[in-house]
Amino acid sequence: MPVLVNLRTICPFMEGVLQKTLKLRPALRRLSPGGVFSSQSTARYLPVGPRRPFLSTPPWLFGVCSQQLHTGADGPKPSPAAAPDRLPFSRITQEDLAFFRKILPGRVVTDPDLLESSNVDWMKSVRGSSEVMLRPQTTQEVSQILKYCNSRNLAVNPQGGNTGLVGGSVPVYDEVILSTALMNKILAFDGVSGILTCQAGCVLENLSLYLEERDYIMPLDLGAKGSCHIGGNVATNAGGLRLLRYGSLHGTVLGLEAVLADGRVLDCLATLRKDNTGYDLKQLFIGSEGTLGVITAVSVLCPRKPNSVNVVLLGCETFELLLQTFQLCRGMLGEILSAYEFLDSDCMKLLNTYLKLPNPISDCPFYVVIETSGSNPTHDGEKLHSFLEEAMASSLVTDGTVATEESKIKALWSMRERVPEALTHEGVTYKYDVSLPVEQIYQLVTDTREHLGGRAKSVVGYGHVGDGNLHLNITSPVNDPALLAAIEPFVFEWTASHRGSISAEHGLGLKKRNYIYYSKPSQAVALMADVKALLDPKGILNPYKTLPDDLRRVGAQV
């Protein structure tokens, strides 16, 4: 039986507004002081397979074939997620290195030890063999690099913070790594409009800290904010925890600057909220994963920093009750609702077991993290009180805790943000990022558990209920091709049959490129290929990513 604790120690204001709720049910309790919560970054644990040998192939537009085998019911077959054959790009020569060193003195990296981390993705599931990383500081230097690489037919892998999960941020073979890490300057900030203009290599957390000092915040918040770059965020159209309140980057990015494959600089770095003069070209690059151009700078519309922030962790007995709570939440909290996240009981067990994060409320099948943010603490508190009172009286939630202090807010958010870290302790994690009609989100987790039976160690679900985004994670003690064959294409087929998208916010990268037809019609994929061919005729920008290997089979299912 949960122990009732006085909420006065959390927030003096809440003493008054939550008294009725406390009388309804002894469920809302504060976080225990001294709880063990850590903000350490996630470690890398997963194994990396051996590098694949060179195999010559036709040009990229005519399709290539996968070589890695995928064990299915009918025996080994090529895996749609495997690396394709190497395309006939040129290889780096001493003359190439001499040119790069001339335009980037002291910023050409060839030491294999220093290149190691840039050749391996965050999941440690994709390993490239690049022999050089270039570290430009200006757009003009990026332009010189791409103009030269295009003339030499050298493939280029644009790389930001390398936090991607679909193999899109690292070389597949020996592509030249073009790092934006040194392009980290804030170019301008308008304190009246809240428009921030910065280079692509700015780390998201650094931008957040800069803005908070000026009473603004970034419209984007991610678990990887300590290392991801804003250019990479825009290139992958990252979603994150604040999308429910502020929308996607397609709306908050007002302008960008990008360098095309031949070195031309496209200056669409506008700071106007309204500009209806022709095609909105910046939208082509948002979510293009570096395949159409290298983003070098962005301008972002930033909201004001809220004066009042509350975070609530609630427990629900069923996913249906969780959805009903969401409906109630949207109706009663309205404009102050900024996040509505969920995790299941298996996620909570992983947090307890591997990260020693204590569950601040009683055990429940599902948990909800709700954040409100507004300008008036009294107004926000009254709205939150009314919502909690109604949710408890209607038996939608069975337990909960409220936090208004920054340390306790961070502690509650860690219950959601650190689930990926906890999963790494289980061995290999197969990650799936899908969007579905909100009422069907968790059914995929249930059906996947039933489909896999005892073959997986864990099958867990968490994500963004507010925008219908589920993160389905399946773990195994070791890399298991048979398990992977049971998961794929089952998860993609299930998602397509329920009118969903196989990638809600992580992109397609290398791993999902050949599954694109589950979410896009053949005509759309063909048009994407036409745009790629127009902007990058030689296919040098981030090859083997996003588009399917065999474009001759347009319309065919994987």
Q: Give the position of tokens 């280079």.
A: 199
Tell which residue, 42, 41, 38, 43, has the closest CA to residue 410: 38
Is residue 32 scored above 80 in pLDDT?
no
What is the bridge-based pairing of β-strands 156-159 and 133-134? unpaired
Helix, coil or strand: residue 220: coil
First to last CA, the chain: 52
CA distances from 42 to 72, 138, 166, 239, 415 (A): 32, 31, 17, 19, 14
Sign for the CA dihedral angle at 296, 297, 303, 306 comes to: positive
Q: Give the position of tokens 């040098």.
A: 540
pTM: 0.83
pLDDT for the residue 75: 53
What is the bridge-based pairing of β-strands 469-476 and 458-464? antiparallel
Which residues pair with residue 301 across a beta bridge?
195
Which residues are within 8 A (CB) of 393 and not within 5 positions of it... i.e. 6 or more apart? 24
Element (H, E) at 118: helix 112-119
More reliable by pLDDT, 74 or 260: 260
Dihedral in degrees, nearest 10, Cα atoms 509, 340, 446, 345:
110
Gap between the Cα atoms of 3 and 14, Å rounded: 18
Is residue 20 scored above 60 in pLDDT?
no
Reading the block at residue 111, the tokens are: 């030491």
Reading the block at residue 500, the tokens are: 């969903």
Is residue 43 scored above 50 in pLDDT?
no
Is residue 199 scored above 50 in pLDDT?
yes
Q: Where are the alpha helices (DSSP H) in 394-521?
A: 406-417, 419-423, 441-452, 481-487, 490-497
Tell which residue, 212, 226, 218, 215, has the closest CA to residue 196: 218
pLDDT for the residue 224: 84
Q: How confident is the model at residue 165 (pLDDT cuts 50, 70, 90)?
A: confident
Reading the block at residue 114, the tokens are: 């220093």
Q: How confident is the model at residue 77 (pLDDT cuts 50, 70, 90)?
A: low
Tell which residue, 114, 86, 135, 80, has the closest CA to residue 509: 80
- Phi, psi dihedrals of residue 478, rounded to the nearest 5°: -140, 165
Q: At what angle do helices 319-333 and 377-393 cross, to 10 degrees?
A: 150
What is the bridge-based pairing of β-strands 186-190 and 176-179? unpaired
Which residues pair with residue 501 across a beta bridge?
435
* Residues found in the chain: 558
**Strand ranges, E, within 59-213:** 69-72, 75-78, 108-109, 133-134, 156-159, 176-179, 186-190, 195-199
Q: Are 228 and 203 in contact (CB under 8 A)?
A: yes
Is residue 138 scored above 90 in pLDDT?
yes
Is residue 332 scored above 80 in pLDDT?
yes
Sign for the CA dihedral angle at 437, 315, 491, 246 comes to: positive
Helix, coil or strand: residue 507: coil
Is residue 555 scored above 50 in pLDDT?
no
Reading the block at residue 547, the tokens are: 């588009």
Q: Where are the alpha helices (DSSP H) in 176-297?
A: 204-212, 230-236, 243-246, 249-252, 282-285
Q: pLDDT digit string (tens) for 286-306? A: 999 999 999 999 999 999 999
Q: Give the position of tokens 């804030």.
A: 186
Is residue 33 scored above 60 in pLDDT?
no
What is the bridge-based pairing of β-strands 337-344 and 366-374? antiparallel
pLDDT for the residue 125: 84
Q: pLDDT digit string (tens) for 84-137? A: 899 999 999 999 999 999 999 999 999 999 999 999 998 888 999 999 999 999
- Phi, psi dihedrals of residue 458, rounded to the nearest 5°: -140, 145
3-state secondary structure 250-298: HHHEEEEEEECCCCCEEEECCCCCCCCCCCCCHHHHCCCCCCCCEEEEE
Which residues pair with residue 199 across a beta bridge?
297
More reliable by pLDDT, 34 or 79: 79
Q: pLDDT digit string (tens) for 451-487? A: 999 999 999 999 999 889 999 999 999 989 999 999 9
What is the bridge-based pairing of β-strands 176-179 and 156-159? parallel
| 310-346 per-residue burial string, b: 16 or more CB within 10 A, e: under 16 | bbbbbbbeebebbbbbbebbeebbeebbbbbbbbbeb
pLDDT for the residue 72: 47
